[in-house]
């Protein structure tokens, strides 16, 4: 008998055994398909959908910015006003003191109520996962700009599925699942980064695959980095505000 015939015979036999097993499960004890271990650990959720669950790391609680540092390692120079962390233009980006990889991030943000400028000049900031992969923050309410640079976009890569922006001066919410990329020893990409984003409760990025780190000029590219890196909040010169920032490493 030829090898190909043997292969298909074995394949059919395996398929028949799998079918028989499925039939036995359907006609037998329903407990055979129940999984009892491991038991999911208990996490107490927040009182509302925006409150931090019990196992979250609070990055900003409205009182101090001690979870962040300046680029040079010193204290941040942004302002804290009415429970919000407000960009002080020209003082630079701020970095989380801890590094993160796979994570769930909740962050609320607000662009200035007084509209100045247009396009990329209105309430511009950004959230950089692993210091490289930017989720754009922008006043995109009645403000046309390039689609992969508006609020909810992965900057210069992926436009949001829809524009879910609220008017300037109103608080907005991002809920994000970020999956870090993985690299081989030689620096080549083993698996690309992925991201899911809800903007004000609306899905705008659905397990989207990132082409690489965000670039202002040129195409996105991956460069090997560690498995955990700081999250950066961008100083783009606009007094954009942030509050209620919490994260769950996954």
Select the CATH number that applies to the domain covering 57-249 from these four: 2.60.120.560, 1.10.10.10, 3.40.50.720, 1.10.3720.10: 2.60.120.560
DSSP 3-state percent helix, strand, coil across the chain (nearest 5) = 15, 30, 55
Cβ atoms of 124 and 169 closer than 8 Å: no
Q: What whole-number distance in Å separates Cα of residue 201 and Cα of residue 204?
A: 9
Q: Write down the pLDDT at residue 30.
A: 84
| Average pLDDT of the chain, as a whole number | 92
Cβ atoms of 124 and 236 closer than 8 Å: yes
pTM summary value: 0.88
pLDDT at residue 28 greater than cutoff 90: no
> pLDDT confidence of 13, banded at 50, 70, 90?
low
* C-alpha distances out from residue 212 to 8, 14, 156, 188, 219, Å: 42, 41, 11, 12, 8
Q: Write down the pLDDT at residue 35.
A: 84
> pLDDT confidence of 19, banded at 50, 70, 90?
confident
pLDDT at residue 159 greater than cutoff 70: yes
pLDDT at residue 2 greater than cutoff 70: no
pLDDT at residue 6 greater than cutoff 80: no
Which of the two residues, 21 and 212, has the higher pLDDT score?
Answer: 212
- pLDDT tens-digit series, residues 188-238: 999 999 999 999 999 999 999 999 999 999 999 999 999 999 999 999 999
Region 117-123 average pLDDT = 91
Beta bridge mates, 174 = 107, 199
């Amino acid at each position: 008998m030829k090898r190909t015939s043997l292969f298909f015979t074995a394949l059919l036999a395996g398929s028949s055994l799998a079918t028989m097993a499925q039939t036995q499960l359907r006609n037998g004890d329903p407990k055979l398909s129940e999984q009892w271990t491991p038991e999911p650990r208990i996490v107490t959720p927040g009182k509302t959908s925006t409150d931090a669950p019990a196992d979250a790391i609070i990055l900003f609680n409205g009182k101090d910015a001690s979870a962040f540092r300046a680029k040079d390692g010193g204290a941040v120079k942004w302002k804290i006003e009415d429970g919000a962390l407000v960009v002080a233009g020209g003082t630079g980006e701020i970095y989380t003191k801890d590094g993160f990889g796979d994570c769930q991030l909740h962050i609320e943000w607000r662009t200035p109520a007084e509209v100045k400028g247009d396009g990329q000049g209105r309430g511009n900031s950004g959230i950089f996962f692993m210091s490289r992969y930017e989720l754009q923050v922008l006043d995109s309410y009645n403000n046309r700009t390039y689609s992969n640079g508006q609020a909810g976009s992965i900057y210069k890569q992926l436009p949001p599925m829809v524009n879910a922006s609220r008017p300037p001066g109103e608080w907005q919410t991002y809920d994000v699942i970020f999956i870090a990329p993985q690299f081989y020893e030689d620096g080549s990409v083993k698996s690309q980064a992925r991201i899911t984003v809800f903007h004000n409760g609306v899905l705008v990025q659905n397990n989207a695959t990132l082409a690489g780190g965000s670039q202002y000029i040129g195409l996105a590219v991956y460069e090997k980095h560690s498995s955990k890196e700081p999250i950066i909040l961008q100083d783009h010169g606009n007094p954009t505000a942030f509050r209620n920032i919490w994260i769950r490493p996954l």
